[in-house]
Amino acid sequence: MVKAAYQGERGAFSEAAARKLLGDAADPVPHRTFDEMFDSVAVGRMDCLIAPIENTLAGSVLKNYDLLETHRLTIIGETSLGIAHNLIAPRGVKFSQVKRVYSHPVALAQCERFLRANPQIDVAQAYDTAGSVKMIIENGRSDEAAIAGKFAAEVYGAEVLAEGVEDHHENYTRFLLVSQPSRAASIHVTTESADMKTTIVFRVANGPGALFRALAAFALRDIDLSKIESRPIEGRPWEYSFYLDILGDTADSAIQKALAHLEELAESVRVLGCYRRAEPLASNNHANSTTKGKMEA
């Protein structure tokens, strides 16, 4: 079994991503914070971790970009998971009774239209989607609810009051599988894709055209970049590290030449991982999309 750290409680979307990436070998282990999750792999308590990195509605999970740079770990796989959010409450609670809803801030950002349409419900942040369901069940109040996946309702014996409350049913989160470099070869990733992706982080001097010239190292060789993200450098105001997702393998000669070119231009370049890409997204026609916003009076 592969001990896979994830942030949250049982029933979290990250747990589902761990099982999708690792199959029957997965032994998902919950952690309260992203920091604890990364630390557990860095010191060897866990074999790997599952990190949500971006969502199609809420954008990047910036905390995990920072943790990827500060820890000497490597990305060994990725997957995309369709995310269907639900309003969940203790059994017997009606929608009209709900006065406060809890969830992870990224999940709340994916459900802004539903929350704006129901201004009578106060919004409160929690450390996890599934954890918010666990909390309201333990609290036992008739005026509290949570936003999470259906599996969390099943795990904690709660009831779904409204299905498909995300802003758009084409809602996906991309998860990274991360391990120590020395453990990477021993962890089997269950992906059918043969295409590769490489993720790097680099820094360039803060001057005119510096980023343009850095990206030209890839453009000149017709290398496709699927994502770019910037994060501030601590102690250097208005200067940034840049993360790139490159479609291709570090074994490809064109990518090797591009990285060598980039090293000539940049202050630093680090390959965070070279791994098999997730399968292309199919239409996220989950059951929730057919009953979007259905409520019990």
The per-residue pLDDT for range 108-146, each reduced to its tens digit, is: 999 999 999 999 999 999 999 999 999 999 999 999 999
Whether 86-166+283-291 and 194-277 share one fold: the answer is: no
List strand residue ranges (DSSP E) for 42-99, in order. Answer: 48-55, 59-60, 74-82, 86-89
Q: What are the extents of the domains in the chain? A: 86-166+283-291, 194-277
What local confidence, expressed as pLDDT, does residue 295 receive? 38
| pLDDT of 289 higher than 50 | no
**156, pLDDT greater than 70:** yes
CA 95 to CA 283: how far, in whole Å? Answer: 29
38 and 49 Cβ atoms separated by less than 8 Å? yes
- C-alpha 85: how far from chain center: 15
Mean pLDDT of 15-44: 96
- What's the average model confidence in pLDDT over 234-257? 96
The residue annotated as part of the active site, out of 74, 173, 191, 199, is: 173
173 classed as catalytic: yes
Helix or strand run (H / E) with residue 267? none
CA-CA distance, 44 to 170, in Å (whole number)? 37
**pLDDT > 90: percent of the chain:** 90
Q: Name the CATH superfamily for 194-277.
A: ACT domain (3.30.70.260)
Q: What is the pLDDT of residue 280?
A: 72
Catalytic residue among 13, 38, 114, 175: 175
* Residue position matching structure tokens 């009606």: 94
Q: How far apart are CA 297 and CA 145, in angstroms?
A: 14
How many whole angstroms from its chain centre is CA 256? 28
CATH homologous superfamily of 86-166+283-291 equals Periplasmic binding protein-like II (3.40.190.10)
Q: Is the pLDDT of residue 164 over 60?
A: yes
CA gap 217, 50 in Å, rounded: 31
3-state secondary structure of 118: coil
175 as an active site residue: the answer is yes
Q: Is the pLDDT of residue 94 over 70?
A: yes
* Confidence (pTM): 0.88
